[in-house]
Amino acid sequence: MSTETGRESRRSGALVSVMRWMENLSDTQYAYLLLIPVFVLLGVVALYPLLRTFELSLFAISADFSSTNFVGAGNYVELFTGGKNRYLPGGTTFLPEGFGLGALLNSALVVTIIFAVTSVLFETLIGLGQALILDQDFYGRRWIRAAIIIPWAVPVVIQGIIFFLMFNSNVGFLTPPLADLGLLAPTNTLNDTASATFIIIVADIWKTSAFMALLILAGLQSIDRGLYDVAKVAGATKWQQFKLITFPLILPTIGVAVLFRSVQAMRVYGIIDTVSSCTVVPSLSCMVVATFTTREGTSAAIAFVTAAIIGIVVMGLIAWQGEDAI
């Protein structure tokens, strides 16, 4: 230690004086010094944009940015009363204009919620199934675990192209068999809202189930194996073991996984843009992107509503699972 200090003191110049200054800081000062980079970055790329989005959402901004009028909550009021629908692409709406399937699927809010709920539900169920298989001991399971995360590494553009080609009604080889089952429209499949929404949900489940499986697997492996031996002695069936031991113990893990996935699913955009289009399958993020060059105030208001919905989902899940979840 003493040779170290001896060498340090022989150096001179700005670096040493900065080092010496840093050494004399208290713990608190030092802690904040090291946090400066992350604060600055988060401030510039996250906090500032959030506040600015809120500010922009209070203004009516014309398409050429020449006039900016303060309208207060006007954008939000118009959004929820249907006045903004004329700016949304392809006749889509923000809230549904009726309760028929067509009207529901034409609404960005409803489509986003349908997408999030359905895809997260199936991803959790399939992920749980995969995790239960991977939790068993068998030869080669490490390779299989690596293989199932492949879809996670597949870029959304490629995912989109692959699903586009598989389901395109002209060239896709999967459309005819599924259309025979009545699941998809036989022609113009990707321009049919119900079919395209279905395909996009399938694409998302394909990409993310394995990710869920890995998260749940981590929870499964932390369960004490002795519990199962006790259960076997007590004569519990496999189903009872799952219901009384496995499921309650992995519930917190599932909670966190569902939380992360729901936040992601609520902001779906890329897969819609690459497989179909935002006019066929409207999502909230789609509406933000579609309006931000022409109607900045509207775009900001939709963005802020999206953030608020995500905030509510997160708080709901945290309340359900308790704070330990995070």
Residues from 64 through 93 that contact other proteins (CB under 8 A): none
Per-residue contact track with other proteins, 173 to 212, x per CB under 8 A? x--------------------------------x---xx-
Contact call for residue 278 and other proteins (CB under 8 A)? no
End-to-end CA separation in angstroms for the chain = 41
Shortest Cβ distance from residue 91 to other proteins (Å)?
21
- Beta strands of 38-139 (E only): which ranges? 59-61, 68-70
Measured distance CA(106)–CA(12) in Å, rounded = 69
- Judged by CB under 8 A, the chain residues 235 through 264 that form the site for other proteins are 253, 256, 260, 263
- Beta strands of 6-154 (E only): which ranges? 59-61, 68-70
- Judged by CB under 8 A, the chain residues 133 through 162 that form the site for other proteins are 133-134, 136, 138-142, 144-159, 161-162
Residues near other proteins (CB under 8 A), total: 99
Contact call for residue 112 and other proteins (CB under 8 A)? no
Closest CB to other proteins among 103 and 277? 277
Contact call for residue 163 and other proteins (CB under 8 A)? yes
**Residue from 120, 310, 317, 321 binding other proteins (CB under 8 A):** 310
* Structure-derived torsion over alpha carbons of residues 86, 89, 90, 91, reported in degrees to the nearest 10: -30
Per-residue contact track with other proteins, 41 to 60, x per CB under 8 A? xx-xxxxxxx-xx--x----
What is the SS3 assignment for 93? Answer: strand
61 phi, psi to nearest 5 deg? -115, 125
What is the SS3 assignment for 81? Answer: helix
Measured distance CA(89)–CA(67) in Å, rounded = 22
Decide: 310 and 267 in contact? Cβ < 8 Å: yes
Shortest Cβ distance from residue 98 to other proteins (Å)?
27
Among the listed ranges 66-74, 92-100, 191-199, 287-295, the one in contact with other proteins (CB under 8 A) is 287-295
